[in-house]
Amino acid sequence: MPKPDLREQPSSQGQAAPAEAASSAGRPAKPGRPAKPARHPDSLKGTILKVVLLGLVDAFAVYVLMMLFLSQSWAALAVSSLVVLAINWIYLRKGGLPAKYLAPGVLFLLVFQVLVVVFSGYIAFTNYGDGHNSTKDDAISAIQLTAQKRVPDSPAYKASVLTKDNEFYLLFTDPAGRAQLGSSEDPLAEAPDAGKDSTGKANSLPGYQTLKFQEIVANQQEILKITVPVSDDPADGTLRTADGSTAYQFKPALKYDAATDTFVDTETGTEYRDNGKGAFADPNGEALATGWKIDVGMDNFVRAFTDPSLRGPLVGVILWTFTFSIASVALTFVMGLFLAMTFNREDLRGKKAYRILMILPYAFPAFLSGLVWSGILNPEFGWLNQTLLGGANIGWLTDPVLAKISVLVVNVWLGFPYMFLVCTGALQSLPSEIDEAARMDGASAWRVFRSIKLPLLLVSVAPLLISSFAFNFNNFNVIYMLTGGGPRFADTDRDIGSTDILITLVYKVAFGQGTGRDYGLASALAIIIFIIVATISAISFKQTKALEDVN
C-alpha cells in the first residue's frame, strides 16, 4: 500500500487503516525539517482496543446467531450472519477508512429507519392485525381452544386453586377421587402427592400454595381465564372453573377436519371454510374471529378510500392534516417574524427579559404542553371557562370547529418561539446598507420590508419552513395530548375525530383501545403519509435549491 503523500488533499486519508498507523513511522522525513522520531504511544493500545471491541461485538453476535438458530428463524439467521461478516470485514481489512467511521451509525439507520419503512410497506399489503397475527396452523389450534362448550351431562370436578412462582394452577379431584394438576400451559397430569380434606377433595400439593377464598376473589379475572387442556391434543377439550371450587369439561364446539380443511359446528353442523381472506367463514360469509395473516394486495388502500365508515373521515383527516400543518407554519412564522422585527432594536429596555420569557414555551417539554393546555381548555372544569369566562360552557375541545382552533392556538404557543429565534437571527444577518439605500431612495418602511427584507429573509428561512411543515405534518404530541383527536365524527363507529391528523390516526388504528388492532390498515395509512411527505419535500427542496450547498 502506498504511503499517503502528506501534501495531498484529504482523499488520501481514506486509504489509511488504523492498524497501519504504525507504518507511517517508516515515512521519509520531510526535507527542511529536523527528522523527529515518530511517536505512536497509542498505536499498540489502539490495536488492542480495537480487537477487544470487535471481540465483544462478535461474542454478542455469536450469541444472537445461536438464539436465532435455536428458534429456527432461518431467514433472520442468514441476514444476521451476513451482517456480522460485513462488520468483521470492514474492521479487519486494510483501507476503507470511511466505512470504519460510518458503519455503526449506518447499521442502526438501516435497521431501524430504512428496514422498518420497507417492513411497513410489506405490512400494508397484508391483513396483519388482531385476529390475523399468525399462521394458519396457529389459528386452527387457537380456534379449537377458544370455541369451547361444556360437554353435556359431563361430571363435575372438584377444584382448588394453587399458585407457584406467580403462575396459577388448578388441582382437580375427579368423581373417582383421583387428584390431577394442570394449568393453561401444562396439560392435566396425575398428582398422587396431593393432600385431601375431609370430603375427599384434593386441596394442597407440596411446593404449591393453596389460595384462600379472599385471594380467589381478588384474582377472579385470572382464574376465570385458566383453561387446562385435558391432553396435548386440543380436540380432547379442556377443564375450566367458574368459581374456583368446581370445574367442568369443555370440548371444542368446532371440529376441524384436516382432509377437507373445514371446521364443523358439532351442534348445528354448519361448515366453516377457508374464505381466502385469512379466516374460516360459514356459507353466509360470517367469519370466525380468529384468522391468520395473508397477503391482501391493495385491499387496505382500497378499503381506506371505499369503506363507508372510513372514506369520509379519512378525507376529512387528510384535509385537516394539510390545513393544520400549513396554518401552523404560517401562523408561527408570521408571529415569530412580527416579534423579531418588534424587538430588533438595540436600545429597547428589557429586551433580554422579554426574549427569555418568550422562549420558555419552546423549552417546556412538548408532550406536557398539550396535557397542560387540555386542563386549561377543559370545557367542564378548565380555567378558561370557569375562571376567565365566569362559568361559561364553551366546548373548546369538544366542538369540532373550536377544537381545531384550540389545537392551532396551542401549536402556535409551542412553535412561535422557534420562529422568533430563527427570524431574529435571519434579520440580524441582513446587511444594514440595504435599509439605508432604500430609505434614501424614498421607500417607506413597509415597502422596504415587503420588497426587500422579506424576500431576502425568505431565502434563508425557506428550508426551515419546509422542515417545520414536515414536522407539523406528523406533530403527534400536540394533537394526541390535547384532544386525542376528538371530538369524534358522528358518521362512523371508528375512533376518528375532527382534530385527528394522519399520524394520530395511524397510531389509533394500530394501537387504539376498543376497536381491534389493524396493523395492515395502519401501515397503509403510514405509507400514504410517506408518499405525501416525500412528494412535497422533493418539490420544495428543488425549488429552494437547498441542496446546492452539498458540494
Partner 1 sequence: MSVGTFASSKETTFDGGPSPLAQKRRPFGVWFKDKGWRHVVGIITTIFAVFPLLYVLSAALDSNGTLVGSNGLFSRFDTGNFVALFSDPTRPFGRWFVNTLVVGTVTSAATVFLGAMAAYAFSRMRFKGRRMGLLTLLLLQMFPQLLAVVAIFLLLSGISQVIPALGLGSQLGLIMVYLGGALGVNTYLMYGFFNTVPQSLDEAAKIDGASHVQIFFGIILRLVTPILAVVGLLAFIGISSEFVIASVVLTDPDSQTLAVGLYSYVAQQRSENWGVFAAGAVIAAIPVMALFLFLQKYIVSGLTAGSVKG
Residues 440-499 that bind partner 1 (CB under 8 A): 463-464, 467-468, 470-471, 474-477, 480-481
CB of 212 to partner 1, least distance (A): 23
The whole-angstrom separation of Cα 360 and Cα 236 is 66
Q: Which of 145, 386, 394, 452 binds partner 1 (CB under 8 A)?
A: 386
Among positive and negative, which fits the CA dihedral 59, 60, 63, 68? Answer: negative
Q: Which of 54, 64, 83, 456 binds partner 1 (CB under 8 A)?
A: 64
Q: Which of 154, 323, 429, 543 binds partner 1 (CB under 8 A)?
A: 429
Write the burial class of residue 411 (CB in 10 Å: 0-12 exposed, 13-18 middle, 19+ buried): buried
Which neighbouring-strand residues pair with 246? 158
Is-contact 379 389, C-beta < 8 A? no
# binding residues, partner 1 (CB under 8 A): 128
Pick 60 or 213: Cβ nearer partner 1: 60
- DSSP letter assigned to residue 134: S
At 404, is the secondary structure helix, strand, or coil? helix
Is-contact 466 455, C-beta < 8 A? no
Pick 8 or 232: Cβ nearer partner 1: 8
The number of helices, as runs of H, and strands, as runs of E, in the chain is: 20, 15
Residues of span 501-520 touching partner 1 by CB under 8 A? 503, 506-507, 510-511, 519
CB of 109 to partner 1, least distance (A): 5
Pick 372 or 402: Cβ nearer partner 1: 372
Pick 285 or 365: Cβ nearer partner 1: 365
Q: Which stretch binds partner 1 (CB under 8 A): 165-173, 184-192, 205-213, 531-539?
A: 531-539
CB of 37 to partner 1, least distance (A): 9
Fill in the per-residue mask, 260 to 299: x = in contact with partner 1 (CB under 8 A), - = not in contact. ----------------------------------------
Nearby residues of 527 by Cβ (< 8 Å), 6 or more positions away: 120, 121, 124
Residues of span 142-161 touching partner 1 by CB under 8 A? none
Rounded to 5°, angle at Cα 231 from 229 and 237: 50
Write the burial class of residue 149 (CB in 10 Å: 0-12 exposed, 13-18 middle, 19+ buried): middle
Q: Are strands 195-196 and 254-257 parallel, antiparallel or unpaired?
A: unpaired
Q: Which stretch binds partner 1 (CB under 8 A): 63-71, 236-244, 260-268, 301-309?
A: 63-71
Asked whether the bond before 487 is cis by omega within 30 degrees of 0, the reply is yes
Residues of span 323-362 touching partner 1 by CB under 8 A? 338-339, 342-348, 350, 354, 356-362
CB of 379 to partner 1, least distance (A): 11
Q: Does 523 bind partner 1 (CB under 8 A)?
A: yes
CB of 421 to partner 1, least distance (A): 5
Q: Which of 378, 443, 449, 456 binds partner 1 (CB under 8 A)?
A: 378
Please report, for residues 58, 78, 261, 441, 487, the alpha-carbon distance to residue 52 in angstroms, rounded to integers and kept in the order given: 10, 25, 56, 71, 57
Give backbone dihedrals phi and psi of 444, rounded to 5 degrees, phi first: -75, 165
Is-contact 518 105, C-beta < 8 A? no
Q: Does 406 bind partner 1 (CB under 8 A)?
A: no
Q: Does 367 bind partner 1 (CB under 8 A)?
A: yes
Pick 216 or 510: Cβ nearer partner 1: 510
Residues of span 126-145 touching partner 1 by CB under 8 A? 128
Which neighbouring-strand residues pair with 149? 251
Q: Which stretch binds partner 1 (CB under 8 A): 11-19, 144-152, 196-204, 326-334?
A: 11-19
CB of 477 to partner 1, least distance (A): 6
Q: Which of 237, 278, 382, 486 binds partner 1 (CB under 8 A)?
A: 382
Give backbone dihedrals phi and psi of 179, rounded to 5 degrees, phi first: -95, 135
Q: Which three cell numbers stand for residue 339?
A: 416579534
Cα 355 off chain centre by: 36
Q: Does 102 bind partner 1 (CB under 8 A)?
A: yes
Question: Which amino acid would we find at residue 21?
Answer: A
The whole-angstrom separation of Cα 276 and Cα 295 is 10
Rounded to 5°, angle at Cα 75 from 69 and 80: 70
- DSSP letter assigned to residue 249: E
Pick 290 or 523: Cβ nearer partner 1: 523
Q: Which stretch binds partner 1 (CB under 8 A): 40-48, 135-143, 150-158, 239-247?
A: 40-48
Pick 25 or 85: Cβ nearer partner 1: 25
